[in-house]
Amino acid sequence: MNKFLKMAMVLLSFFAGVSMYAYTGNPIVSGLSMMSTSAGLQMLTGQYLEFPTGAFTVPLVGLKRKTQNPQLGGSKRLYVILTEDLLNEFVDYNLILTSGQFAGAIPLAPGKMAVEIEAWYDTLKWDGEMKTGGGFTQGVEFDVLGFDKDIAKAMALLYETPVNLIVQGNDNSLYYFGDKYIPFMFDAKITNPPKGTERKRVTFTAKNDGYSHPIVPLANTVTFAVQALS
């Protein structure tokens, strides 16, 4: 009985809203009429309409522990892409929410390529964070040894230059960093140690926040053109 009564209350509230809209043509007045009718019926009958919570939340999916699958750290290759060379923004929250990765071709403009930077061994690293209310952060850091004309030129070219990055791990996994419209810009620090037993180096760091998605795993099917190192 309660089920039919509540259904009748919903129908009457809806009818009140539709009637008011037909009479006034004002959707705000129509909504208020629907709400007031619903509230009055609930008080009159003592039956309260309950609306399910979380109706617009995507169901959770469990995360299974992986065994016999080494998760090796370390990274071995770094590719840099100018954001102006990207045709469009191809990664978003919904993509990661549904598939968890990007598969396909990086949408570079015709004739445009990524360039590779050879970081010194065991210096290329990355990290990321998820912050409630603040989205995701992404960061990459690497060193190059010495300081010469080639490194100085690279620093000048990267100064305040919006870029995205692709990092290849020691296990050959690929990860994408940045967005076309939320890019990275590198900072760099030159270090000349006081002792001859240490080496000169330049440390490049890039970090940004406010992303709608975490660092993006790239599927094995991902393709992108790379300019050969001379």
Please report whether residue 68 resides in a domain.
no
Domain co-membership, 113 together with 217: yes
Tokens 């995507």 found at = 58
**What are the residues whose beta carbons fall under 8 Å from the beta carbon of 18, sequence distance 6 or more?**
30
Contact 86, 109 (CB under 8 A): yes
**Residue 29's pLDDT is what?**
47
Please report whether residue 62 resides in a domain.
no
Residue 20: how many CA atoms within 13 Å on its side-chain side? 18
Nearest CA-CA partner of 125 in 177, 85, 180, 66: 177
Please report whether residue 172 resides in a domain.
yes
Domain co-membership, 201 together with 122: yes
Please report whether residue 56 resides in a domain.
no
- Please tell me the distance from the alpha carbon of residue 27 to that of residue 21, in angstroms, as a whole number: 6
List, in sequence order, every residue forming a beta bridge with 102; answer none if it has no partner: 218
Please report whether residue 60 resides in a domain.
no
**Residue 83's pLDDT is what?**
98
Domain co-membership, 108 together with 31: no
**Residue 5's pLDDT is what?**
59
Domain co-membership, 143 together with 212: yes
DSSP letter assigned to residue 102: B
Tokens 């016999």 found at = 68
Give the residue ranges of DSSP H helices in 149-194: 149-158
Please report whether residue 57 resides in a domain.
no
Q: Residue-wise pLDDT tens for the chain (230 aa)?
A: 555 555 666 667 666 656 655 666 555 545 556 666 765 656 666 555 554 444 567 788 888 888 777 778 999 999 999 999 999 999 999 999 999 999 999 999 999 999 999 999 999 999 999 999 999 999 999 999 999 999 999 999 999 999 999 999 999 999 999 999 999 999 999 999 998 888 999 999 999 999 999 999 999 999 999 999 87
Contact 76, 142 (CB under 8 A): no
Domain co-membership, 11 together with 92: no
CA distance to 39, 110, 137, 164, 205, per residue, from 155 (Å) = 66, 26, 23, 16, 12
Give the residue ranges of DSSP H helices in 25-148: 27-45, 93-98
Domain co-membership, 84 together with 10: no
User: How many CB atoms neighbour CB 75 within 10 A?
Assistant: 20
- Burial of 184 by CB count in 10 Å (0-12 exposed, 13-18 middle, 19+ buried)? buried
User: Containing domain of residue 38, as a range?
Assistant: 2-45
**How many domains, the chain?**
2
